[in-house]
Structure 1
């Protein structure tokens, strides 16, 4: 495999978005001096600078950027150089107002924010290519250049446009994808409600309609919108590959399931040279470190298990949530090194110096408004030293214990209108199942439903409403060959066109699960059901129940009340050399813990009772050795067992037996041997 790490970067990446254009040039020297003090190795530059680089059509001014990049190079700081195509200039929109996106109800957005782009617009595409060519020609072989950073956070905040240009582009996409209009009719089921088309010219985007529109059309439009955005990325990427060979090209993803739901990152992961990600804590009262671990695991999985890079996160609070608390002392380091434990080759932030103006002036930064006499700055200095000491882990890979099946296209389909219950949230189920695995100290890979699963003793399917026949065959083969599968309700129901699989529910999964479902029976708001086991113990479910009929599966837990009283609630199906579990209600945390415990026993995954809750232990290994990360998210000191002695990289101390990990601290041991 070719090396796709940032060119010339011999240590882990540490730094952030640098926006010197927001400040007088007299500040730049102070910036680089403080960057060196903090141990900064790379910064991202130029992401929102189109209006400065091209102040008028075809007129370019690179003088200020030449000076910035030259100054960084003189001080040994590598550059992640952005193409500024996320923010076209005001003059561009004045000349091409049709490049502003249109909503499904016909409203055209105005200039004045970011990411207001119709990705089908030919004028935007031409202008984006032109500025990318100019940048590549000027900086493609600059000695400071480590990485090309195309656009910014594709799909945020606008993922789809519904204008006439997009309508024409959609028709062309449908013709390429389906071949004929009759194939479109078949895929969308247009015989329902008399929606049949006789020509592509009759098809529009799924604009506002009096009641629910065609779900097949809506799902295809999500695919089209994602593919259209990706076309623009690959156009810029190919220019950069041609004019700047040998420099990796990336764009920053937002894989956290709560932050971007419009991008199919399985598809995007195949197009970038290096997978990078932005992650921000959602401070809604939950254990934020669990969602962080989940996002990091998901990003690593999109990268195919290869090392990736955290390109943005926050030193402390953000500014765009209803309430934006500061991070607790030490939390910045735990957040940063938690990503590194799960595969990141560094920790980058938004941004270097906190802005005085603009929409994000209260978003935290590496260098706060208060300057260097602040807690955040002191923690940045300390973190920079820690990241430097972890350079030996470069190129190693995180080891996983289990896999979770996830598919963005299934999420899109699940979230369309008129499903059996609006209380069933596939993201919530993914979060909850992940948390149950996390609390059993299992490191998780995510996998596409059609991916090879043979490496995993345990595979969990928390919410996979859309599932192809190929995916169904894949999981059956996995179980028959000895794997343990856990499936949650409302999975395997429809095919890739949102058509219900022929026959009884759960279509693509009924054979591997050894059961059928006669009928869904969602619960009313706040309604609960009790489940009883053979020993008389009880679990609790809510949101959903089903009329389950075993067809080879054994009943483990039974509904004790409600419409489904006396029916199976949780089943287990031995198949071939493996086992498939099914749960037909939304179990609470206690129930999920029990379920995952039973399945883990089937899978031969030994319990890790010697590790306290909220102390995560993750391993990275490779040619340079095996590294154990221990992250203590609790307020008490703890000790983590070591399988062999080693050297703790952050303190330089030798460690053996049980590794002391102080409250809120991180320890990283390079194991001997």
Structure 2
């Protein structure tokens, strides 16, 4: 089964800004030869060559093998592995192996182990068993990195360095004494004085005022609601503490292996780390993504994740470092991928900016916690469906890379931006809120409406320059400074289109309320741009819909509120519920030909489709699909447009005026005239 390539007379923007750190689209995955007898290694290289593998990520969990006793290093086996891979023409992303410290470190230094919020110390026997603030852990980890970089920093097979692995995946924060001391120091740098901390945290409430930084603790298990700003600062600090580990390793690698790019693997929309801050420390962005094959909407999350990775890198190509070719082992029900499904999601990554498609892992483990996690070479060996699909995918990517579509290194054009804010996610996830709102799920519904029309988006952080976008969408940006919210208002002032969702502009960056009609507070630039203010929240009961009627009609959920309209047209009103008769969707036109929309609820999919028909027309953004397409996506990159069917049924679609037939989980690559 191969990619369907269609030469069609469709307008495509071919950008001259082509830049990739790789010589071709990379293909491969995590390789763990230390888990196998050396007699297997030559067969691995043979099979890799047969599968068109270009790249192996080596040594991710090898610390105990590399340093079996403190200060005693064993590199002989790794020398042999790298020599064999190099001889086979396979490049290496070498991991620093610091993700899982060995047993001897836990035994000699139990203080390096992490502590949970109830004060219980974790034990050895899993992975990531270290406190991010542990000086002992850092000392031993950096010694290992220094030894690796000194030995392999100029190795001919080395393509890039990979620090640690999935920072924060299992231990995003530790409540040990060293972490608390580091938190206090971080707070002192942030606020300068304890009086300023008291102001920011609002400690006049519940008698929480501090007399010195030494009195401040981590937000441990408590009788009831904890201080909201303390919780937010703990999230900020914990993300920073892990980032400091990456920075320390990167510094060693830059010294001893200059010119070799350094990355680490992100985890998509991962709640605990602010990847906007992390992205500046990566030579290229890498990501791990595991969509659920049994979820018919999983392609929406994975498409959004790919767009986020591209956005984090400022539009530069990124690397899919991990995915599974079939089932994983950690869901309640681990469905395998259907024939062709893995290929579809792999091409989705390429279409949205990836210059490499890697996997976890090369050979499926025979023991350990992930022995039932699928791999490129399954338990059944090379004569299996999964490995045959792996071989076919490797060939296709090699052909695409060598073809004239100009995909490698090419940017992905986007004229629409969605504001994504980790701190709003953290704030909405706290306990003391107007109602429980799933920030990620809600934003994905906004994103999905654009995906169904074939519109490609970039994510932007609050306050970012959005002058390149005709349409900016800000759903649930609960937290925002005055300047950040004014930047949204500026979208309309310059003549472009802005859509703002409910729960936007409620709190400042200290989580203090913007008083006087929310949306940034009384008289704010955002209130003026939208022509509305918000008087009262009226969240809906779980699973209870609301009806809206007017020029836009349909159902919605999650939220109602009482909106005061001062200078906007009401396009839909609530037909029932606490806010019955009040505005649900408004639009304010400006003299600069811009338009500002406010949406005081979470529309259903059908209502979102109707809403974005109007909004895209306002913005002058022409969708690739004439109407919403469920289960099919499209994106343009270089001289190609990709059309991908994520359903198990054949589909006929019209994209940019061209009819395309797609088999189940089919992929079409359209090439044509430049426009």
Aligned to 2:615: 599
Aligned to 1:620: 637
Does the CA contact (< 8 Å) of 1:481 and 1:576 recur in 2? no
Cα offset, 1:532, TM superposition: 1.2
Q: What is the match of residue 537 of structure 2?
A: 520
Cα distance, 1:610–1:473 mapped onto 2, change above 3 Å:
closer
In the alignment, does 2:113 pair up with 1:112? no
**Deviation of the 1:389 alpha carbon:** 1.0
Q: Which deviations, in whole Å up to 9, do the C-alpha atoms of 1:260-299 show, x marking residues without a partner?
A: 2001111111101111111001356342212111110111
**1:293 aligns with one of 300, 303, 318:** 303
Write out aligned runs for 1:482-493 (5 A).
482-493=495-506
Residue aligning to 2:459: 446
- In structure 2, the gaps of 5 or more residues are 1-15
Which residue is equivalent to 2:485?
472
Is 1:405 matched with 2:419? yes
Question: Which residue, 248, 272, 281 being the options, matches 1:262?
Answer: 272
Measured against aligned partners, the alpha-carbon deviations of 1:354-380 in whole angstroms (never above 9, x if no partner) come to 001011111111000011111111101
- The answer to which of 314-323 and 557-566 deviates more is 557-566
- Larger mean CA deviation between 554-563 and 629-638 belongs to 629-638
Cα deviations by residue, 1:301-359 (Å, 9 ceiling, x for unpaired): 01111111101111011111111111010111111111000000021000000001011
CA 1:284–1:500: 2 relative to 1, 3 Å: farther
Counterparts of 2:488 and 2:223, CA distance in 1? 40
Instruction: Give the structure 1 partner of residue 8 of structure 2.
Output: none
Indicate the residue corresponding to 1:362 in structure 2.
Answer: 372
Structure 1 portions without partners, runs of 5+: 644-656
Q: Larger deviation: 592-601 or 604-613?
A: 604-613
Q: State the match for 2:410 in structure 1.
A: 396
Q: Which residue of 2 aligns with 1:542?
A: 557
Match of 2:585 in 1: 570
User: Would you say 1:226 and 2:235 are equivalent positions?
Assistant: no
- What is the CA deviation profile of residues 488-541 of structure 1, one whole-angstrom value per residue up to 9, with x for unaligned ones? 11111101111111322122632322111111111223333221105xx73222
| Partner of residue 646, structure 1 | none
Matched residue of 1:431: which SS?
helix
CA–CA distance in 2 between the matches of 1:550 and 1:639? 41
For residues 82-122 of structure 1, give each alpha carbon's deviation from its aligned partner in whole angstroms, at most 9, with x where no partner exists: 00111000000111101111111111111111112211111
Tell me what 1:664 maps to. Answer: 665
For the residues of structure 2 that align with 1:137 and 1:26, how far apart are their CA atoms? 28
Does the 8 A contact of 2:652 with 2:659 survive in 1?
Answer: no
What is the distance in 1 between the residues matched to 2:372 and 2:19? 34
Greater RCO, 1 or 2 (C-alpha within 8 Å, sep 6+):
2
| Aligned mates of 2:296, 2:133 — CA distance in 1 | 39
1:245 to 237, 242, 258: 258
**8 A contact 2:453–2:627 mirrored in 1:** no
Compared with structure 1, are the counterparts of its residues 303 and 658 closer, same or farther at alpha carbon in structure 2 (3 Å cutoff)?
Answer: same
Q: Is 1:70–2:80 an aligned residue pair?
A: no
Contact 1:406 1:463 (8 Å CA) reproduced: no
The aligned counterpart of 1:651 is none
Q: TM-score, normalised by structure 1?
A: 0.93
Give the corresponding residue for 1:379.
389
> 1:641: how far off?
5.0
Q: 3-state SS of the aligned residue for 2:444?
A: helix
One of 523, 532, 545 as aligned partner of 2:549? 532
Distance in 2, matches of 1:455 and 1:600, equals 16
2:103 aligned with 1:103, yes or no? Answer: no
- Give the TM-score, by structure 2 length: 0.93
RMSD: 1.8
Match of 2:11 in 1: none
Q: Is the 8 A contact 1:5 1:248 kept in 2?
A: no
